[in-house]
């Protein structure tokens, strides 16, 4: 007993140091797995509030770019609307138009990126909407150019998003001109280039092909733009991977949309039937 007390007395600083290091290390491990709830994240009232204040100041420097983005997007949407109204006019529709609303599968929620990382291997960004705006974990985040990430930690007013350029990010994606699909990952090197792995060998891919999201996951709707192929790794590698250049410049993102999938629960229940 005397020995133990003596031991603790002698190494008390080292033991305290060790305890704190273990806490820190467990926080790191916890942060690197997507499915655990996060304690250390910037999506809390204090850090979120600070970032919101700072982005309110720096936003003024980007207004010109943001305006160009918005006007481009408006033009695109207006053109699509014209196409739809042309179709509606030219065909006879007997069902009520309201069924469009009834069958709505996705809802878009607008938000603003208030903090962005792109230089680390595990990147996250923060947006200024949270649980109060009915945002939950595992929702898609996009902007008008393409995908950005998946929501990860949610607080009342802020949400942390796991960026596409995070080494833990796995997104289901496919070629635009065929239905061959693979997994979109990132190797941690260049923040504008991601990798599309596990594309079947028989898929014909050429440089410049467009990559879009596949509707096979319950998170992303089908057909959201990702990027274009810039390099094809031919050879006998186990993972047949393509280098994809993102349409988004991940170091320069302003506004974002969060996509809510109304059928997510139904899809989940079908995929993992409960044993009764």
**Site residues for other proteins per CB under 8 A:** 12-14, 16-17, 20-21, 23-32, 40-42, 44, 46-47, 50-51, 54, 117, 119-122, 124, 126, 160, 167, 187-189, 191
CA distance 225 to 222: 9
Burial, 97: exposed, middle or buried (Cβ in 10 Å; 0-12, 13-18, 19+)?
exposed
Residue 170 Cβ, how far from other proteins at the closest point, in Å?
A: 16
Q: Please tell me the distance from the alpha carbon of residue 114 to that of residue 101, in angstroms, as a whole number.
A: 32
Nearer to other proteins (CB atom), residue 160 or residue 174: 160
Nearer to other proteins, 10 or 216 (CB): 10
> Closest distance between other proteins and the C-beta of residue 20, in Å?
5
CB 240 within 8 A of CB 198: yes
Report in angstroms how near the CB of residue 21 gets to other proteins at its nearest: 6
CB of 189 to other proteins, least distance (A): 7
140 — phi, psi (to 5°)? Answer: -75, 145
Residue matched to tokens 């305006």: 67
CB of 165 to other proteins, least distance (A): 12
**Given the complex with other proteins, which of 249 and 266 has the nearer CB atom?**
249
Nearer to other proteins, 65 or 67 (CB): 65
Give the integer Cα–Cα distance in Å for 250 and 76: 22
CB nearer to other proteins: pick between 17 and 262: 17
Residue 188 to residues 9, 137, 163, 226, 243, Cα–Cα distance (Å): 45, 24, 12, 17, 13
């Amino acid at each position: 007993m005397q020995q133990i007390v003596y031991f603790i007395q002698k190494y008390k600083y080292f033991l305290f140091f060790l305890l704190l290091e273990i806490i820190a290390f467990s926080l790191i491990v916890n942060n690197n797995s997507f499915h655990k709830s996060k304690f250390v994240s910037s999506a809390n009232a204090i850090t979120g509030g600070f970032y919101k204040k700072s982005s309110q100041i720096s936003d003024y420097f980007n207004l010109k770019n943001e305006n160009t983005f918005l006007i481009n997007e408006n033009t695109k949407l207006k053109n699509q609307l014209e196409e739809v109204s042309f179709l509606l006019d030219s065909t006879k529709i007997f069902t009520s138009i309201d069924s469009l609303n009834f069958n709505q599968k996705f809802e878009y929620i607008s938000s603003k990126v208030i903090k962005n990382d792109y230089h680390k291997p595990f990147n996250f960004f923060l947006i200024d909407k949270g649980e109060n705006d009915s945002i939950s974990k595992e929702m898609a985040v996009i902007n008008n150019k393409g995908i950005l990430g998946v929501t990860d930690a949610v607080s009342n007013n802020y949400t942390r998003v796991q960026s596409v350029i995070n080494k833990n990010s796995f997104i289901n994606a496919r070629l635009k001109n065929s239905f061959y699909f693979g997994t979109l990952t990132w190797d941690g090197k260049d923040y504008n280039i991601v990798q599309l792995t596990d594309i079947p060998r028989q898929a014909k891919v050429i440089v410049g092909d467009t990559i879009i999201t596949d509707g096979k996951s319950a998170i992303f709707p089908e057909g959201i733009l990702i990027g274009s192929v810039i390099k094809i790794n031919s050879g006998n590698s186990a993972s047949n991977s393509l280098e994809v250049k993102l349409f988004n410049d991940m170091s320069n993102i302003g506004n974002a949309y969060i996509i809510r999938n109304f059928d997510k629960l139904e899809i989940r229940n079908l995929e993992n039937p409960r044993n009764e």
